């Protein structure tokens, strides 16, 4: 059987130019070689699979090459390069810090450093996973690391920089390797696929790159695994099936259902996802990433943060244009809270479905608000004045009733057209229905007074009736007020009692009982108080309650202002200060607590020179 070599080893970079995603580090090392400014010790740190050991080997090979190129790359032709490529170089030593972590191992290393190289310029010691060395081994290594012979170079590599002693860090040049981007990994995988004569879809390679999480070695390992399953043709569907990754289309579909307020479609889609074997939290993580991608697509400056295949970016851009930013932030918040509480939930599927229904709820309310509503008749701004029946008068001349037009600020009554007709007789029924104007007896036959004398007192009362907060004038669609109308409404400040405030406060809380139970409990537990200048005081227990109330504050204030007929109401919230008393555990804490209550104990301890046992 042919000896198979995994892609991570077969296509391991051999020169600085072939290292993927670490251009700043490779350029720095090449310039240091060119300018003869090599340090005695280097520390390469960063995540797994980003090229730390690879760059260490390339650096060791390059500084011992006898025929460097103009771009500071090894020639691969000289004796030093050939011996290195065949793993037979006597100048390059690779040690594993996990298995050589004692003081004796470092002592043997120091003894080897004293022997100069027999061929080449430098002896290079590459210590991988150097953070596994013990503290004693680090201390034994300090002197040699700081002042080694001129021919000795040390390259330390680690994934956990924080575990290395500061005294070691100060003696090394530190290079922080970054995670390799999705696009760089996808391009390298395409290069490997071409070399291996494998047909691979761009979307499939991007899924592999995302699954690798910035590590090239992981990406190549996944690539080999998928090729073993699919053969020479790697498709998007094959990658989804083998890597247990949800298809993008599920996220686009469920987002469309949420934007439409379609609860049925949302529940059926999540049922389809769960029936295929995906965990709910797996969906939450992917859906959160999907919402994040929609958010970054809102601005061209942040669109470059989208790490997906080019063919899918158009779908993100199109759906992002249809989704408001406020809605995206709300969906992200609900998704994040569901993710945090998912593990502790006893009924995980119900917990997930409730969160999705909460996402649909705002759009359902919006659709209901936009539905056509029956237009209520506009009440007349002028009330008819009941008068006693007037005996019929012989029609000496036609009577022209005149109704004075009255403008109230929110509704204007159209003037009645003059009609030449005989004066109808007034009956109690007609007067009661307000269809007949009262006519005073004419003192002079030729002069007719207006049908009704309009007084400012009547206008004031009628203004209050026409602009009642309990029965606002309905308009088509959302109510849009002119500046004058808005000013007139804000001038309304009807006094109200604490009992009325509590009544409408509880009424609004009941509306949130099923939709937001946490805020419902907050409103029912604490009670509002009336303050000066129409301010309502409300005390909260913590910052979480304040954040929940902030999301509903505008809606809540509109409800209270409309029902209390007072548009000057303002809600002032404060967080109660809580003083936590810690229970003493140690003997010292118990003594300090008792001494605080009885200072004589402290004097007694000092006089007797007593010590507290810890």
Structural domains for the chain? 7-176 (3.40.50.300), 182-243 (1.10.8.60), 248-366 (1.20.272.10), 498-575 (3.30.300), 581-614 (no CATH)
Query: What is the pLDDT confidence band of residue 484, given thresholds at 50, 70 and 90?
Result: low
pLDDT tens track for 52-103: 999 999 999 999 888 888 888 888 888 888 888 888 888 888 888 888 888 9
126 contacts 68 by C-beta, under 8 angstroms: no
Question: Percent of the chain, pLDDT > 70?
Answer: 77
Kind and range of the H or E element at 126? strand 123-128
Query: What is the pLDDT confidence band of residue 211, given thresholds at 50, 70 and 90?
Result: confident
User: How do 123-128 and 92-96 pair as beta strands?
Assistant: parallel
Q: Averaged over 561-587, what is the pLDDT? A: 77
Taking the C-alpha atoms of residue 42 and residue 126, their distance in angstroms, rounded to an integer, is 10
Beta partners for 158?
45
Which tokens in the block code for residue 564?
Answer: 């209390």
Q: What is the pLDDT of residue 472?
A: 44
Question: Percent of the chain, pLDDT > 90?
Answer: 20
Q: Averaged over 451-480, what is the pLDDT? A: 43
Mean pLDDT over the full length of the chain: 78
Task: Assign 3-class secondary structure to 11-64.
Answer: CCCCCHHHCCCCHHHHHHHHHHHHCCCCCCEEEEECCCCCCHHHHHHHHHHHHC
530 vs 366, more confident: 530
Query: What is the pLDDT confidence band of residue 479, given thresholds at 50, 70 and 90?
Result: low
Query: What is the pLDDT confidence band of residue 571, given thresholds at 50, 70 and 90?
Result: confident
Query: What is the pLDDT confidence band of residue 356, given thresholds at 50, 70 and 90?
Result: very high
Give CA torsion, residues 92, 95, 101, 106, to 10 deg.
-20
329 vs 590, more confident: 329
Taking the C-alpha atoms of residue 450 and residue 404, their distance in angstroms, rounded to an integer, is 8
Q: What is the pLDDT of residue 402?
A: 43
Burial 239-270 (b: 16+ CB within 10 A, else e): bbeeeebbebebbbebbbbbbebbbebbbebb
Q: What is the pLDDT of residue 481?
A: 60
**108-112, 382-386, 467-471, 490-494: lowest mean pLDDT where?**
467-471
Query: What is the pLDDT confidence band of residue 605, given thresholds at 50, 70 and 90?
Result: confident
Which position has the token pair 């229905």?
433
Query: What is the pLDDT confidence band of residue 407, given thresholds at 50, 70 and 90?
Result: very low
Q: Averaged over 455-469, what is the pLDDT? A: 41
Beta partners for 144?
none
pLDDT for 467 beyond 50: no
DSSP 582: P
Burial 419-448 (b: 16+ CB within 10 A, else e): eeeebeebeeeebeeeebbbbeeeeeeeeb
Taking the C-alpha atoms of residue 598 and residue 594, their distance in angstroms, rounded to an integer, is 6
pLDDT tens track for 244-293: 778 888 899 999 999 988 999 999 999 988 988 888 888 999 899 999 98
DSSP 317: H
pLDDT for 156 beyond 90: yes
pTM, 2 dp: 0.54
Q: What is the pLDDT of residue 336?
A: 93
Q: What is the pLDDT of residue 174?
A: 93
- DSSP E strand stretches across 241-295: none
Q: Averaged over 408-416, what is the pLDDT? A: 40
pLDDT for 414 beyond 60: no
């Amino acid at each position: 059987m042919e000896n198979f070599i995994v892609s991570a080893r077969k296509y391991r970079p051999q020169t600085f130019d072939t290292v993927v995603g670490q251009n700043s580090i490779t350029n720095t090392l090449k310039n240091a070689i060119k300018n003869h400014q090599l340090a005695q010790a280097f520390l390469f740190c960063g995540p797994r699979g980003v090229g730390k050991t690879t760059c260490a080997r390339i650096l060791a090979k390059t500084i011992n090459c006898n025929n460097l190129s103009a771009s500071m790359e090894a020639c691969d032709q000289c004796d030093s390069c050939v011996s290195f490529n065949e793993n037979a170089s006597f100048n390059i030593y690779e040690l594993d810090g996990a298995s050589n972590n004692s003081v004796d191992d470092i002592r043997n290393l120091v003894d080897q450093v004293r022997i100069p190289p027999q061929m080449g310029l430098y002896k290079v010691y590459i210590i991988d996973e150097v953070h596994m060395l013990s503290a004693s081994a680090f201390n034994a290594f300090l002197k040699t690391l700081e002042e080694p012979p001129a021919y000795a170079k040390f390259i330390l590599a680690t994934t956990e920089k924080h575990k290395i002693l500061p005294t070691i860090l100060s003696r090394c040049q530190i290079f922080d390797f970054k995670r390799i981007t999705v696009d760089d990994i996808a391009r390298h995988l395409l290069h490997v696929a071409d070399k291996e004569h494998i047909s691979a879809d761009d979307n499939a390679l991007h899924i592999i790159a995302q699954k690798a999480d910035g590590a090239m070695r992981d990406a190549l390992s996944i690539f080999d695994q998928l090729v073993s399953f699919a053969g020479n043709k790697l498709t998007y569907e094959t990658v989804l099936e083998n890597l247990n990754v949800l298809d993008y289309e599920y996220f686009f579909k469920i987002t469309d259902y949420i934007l439409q307020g379609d609860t049925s479609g949302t529940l059926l889609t999540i049922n389809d996802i769960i029936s295929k074997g995906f965990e709910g939290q797996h969906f939450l993580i992917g859906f959160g990433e999907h919402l994040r991608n929609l958010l970054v697509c809102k601005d061209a400056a942040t669109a470059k943060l989208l790490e997906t295949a080019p063919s899918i970016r158009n779908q993100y851009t199109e759906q992002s244009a249809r989704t408001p930013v406020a809605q995206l932030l709300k969906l992200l918040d609900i998704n994040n809270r569901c993710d945090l509480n998912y593990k502790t939930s006893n009924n995980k599927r119900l917990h997930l479905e409730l969160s999705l229904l909460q996402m649909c709820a705002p759009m359902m309310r919006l659709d209901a608000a936009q539905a056509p509503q029956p237009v209520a008749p506009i009440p007349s701004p002028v009330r008819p004045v009941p008068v006693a029946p007037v005996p019929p008068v012989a029609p000496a001349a036609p009577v022209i009733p005149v109704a004075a037009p009255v403008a109230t600020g929110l509704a204007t009554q159209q003037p009645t057209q003059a009609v030449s007709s005989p004066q109808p007789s007034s009956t109690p029924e007609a007067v009661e229905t307000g269809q007949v104007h009262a006519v005073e007896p004419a003192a002079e036959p030729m002069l007719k007074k207006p049908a009704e004398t309009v007084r400012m007192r009547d206008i004031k009362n009628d203004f209050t009736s026409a602009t009642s907060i309990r029965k606002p004038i309905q308009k088509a669609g959302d109510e849009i007020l002119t500046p004058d109308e808005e000013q007139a409404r804000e001038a309304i400040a009807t006094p109200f009692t604490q009992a009325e405030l509590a009544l409408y406060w509880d009424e609004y809380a009941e509306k949130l009982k099923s939709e937001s139970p946490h805020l419902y409990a907050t409103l029912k537990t604490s009670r509002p108080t009336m303050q000066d200048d129409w301010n309502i005081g409300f005390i909260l227990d913590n910052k979480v309650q304040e954040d929940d109330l902030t999301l509903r504050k505008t809606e809540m204030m509109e409800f209270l202002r409309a029902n209390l007929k007072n548009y000057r109401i303002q809600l002032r919230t404060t967080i109660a200060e809580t003083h936590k008393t810690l229970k003493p555990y140690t003997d010292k804490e118990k003594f300090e607590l008792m001494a605080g209550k009885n200072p004589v104990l402290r004097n007694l301890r000092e006089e007797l020179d007593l010590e507290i046992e810890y």
